[in-house]
Amino acid sequence: MERIEHRACFGGWQDVYRHRSQVLGCDMNFAVYLPPQAAQPGARLPVLYWLSGLTCTEQNFITKAGAQRYAAEHGIVVVAPDTSPRGEDVADDPGYDLGQGAGFYLNATCEPWARHYRMHDYVAQELPALVETHFPVSDARGISGHSMGGHGALVLALRNPGRYRSVSAFAPIVAPSQVPWGQKAFTAYLGGDHEAWREWDACELLRQAQERLPLLVDQGGDDEFLEGQLRPQLLQAAAEDAGHPLRLRIHPGYDHSYYFVASFIGQHIAHHAAALRG
């Protein structure tokens, strides 16, 4: 691991590291915020993993969301990986919604994507192992994200019962099998077998969930992607059918931007802190 950024922030440190990922077969960046409590002798703090959306890197969240203030208050480490594998030998696409910057937090099975695009295994396994080896953290994990990252947070929590103690999402793509963003990505990464898509669709996974981890989802009421790509009502219906706890909040006037995320990130970190420290 190489530390490539180191900035004082709310009594702690906002760092960015680069490392070689064996799972993805490329160099990856991830951001880690260490609150002031991390400097205490014997500290073992809980970790919140944040997954960003289409076109983002690890930088968008750490520079726009304002999460560090709340992480410092609650004593939570926040880890934000990049959104996809990167590099000259990594497959890409001219569109913003496929390829580099659009990993969709799944394990691709179709070429040319299968060689590198295994973001699910990276986020669920390799990255936590790295973080829990090198930083003063415990194995108490929460996960959250925005848009494509909200999809990732829901899917990772639902696919890995017992791995996370809390989950939340901002404007998630809840039913990628039914909307253009997801259909394009799933066709490329997974092929035409729609049965395989079900394993990466939060609404489908919710109906067969093995644990009842409460979901917190915030959605902007004036989000330009609300009806075409996000469709939170589908998640609500799936949760009701499965009897799964879901708190879905629609906020009039808010759009899809980080202004929306920054407005409610404090409440989300408090939600995670209650579960992670409980």
**Which residues are known to be catalytic?**
147, 223, 256
Q: How many CB atoms lie within 10 A of CB 99?
A: 21
Strand order in the sheet with 166-170: 2-9, 12-21, 26-34, 77-81, 45-51, 137-145, 166-170, 215-220, 246-251
> 17 Cβ partners below 8 Å, 6+ apart?
1, 2, 3, 4, 29, 30, 31, 32
C-alpha to C-alpha distance for 68 and 14, rounded to whole angstroms: 8
Residues 104, 109, 112, 114, CA torsion sign = positive
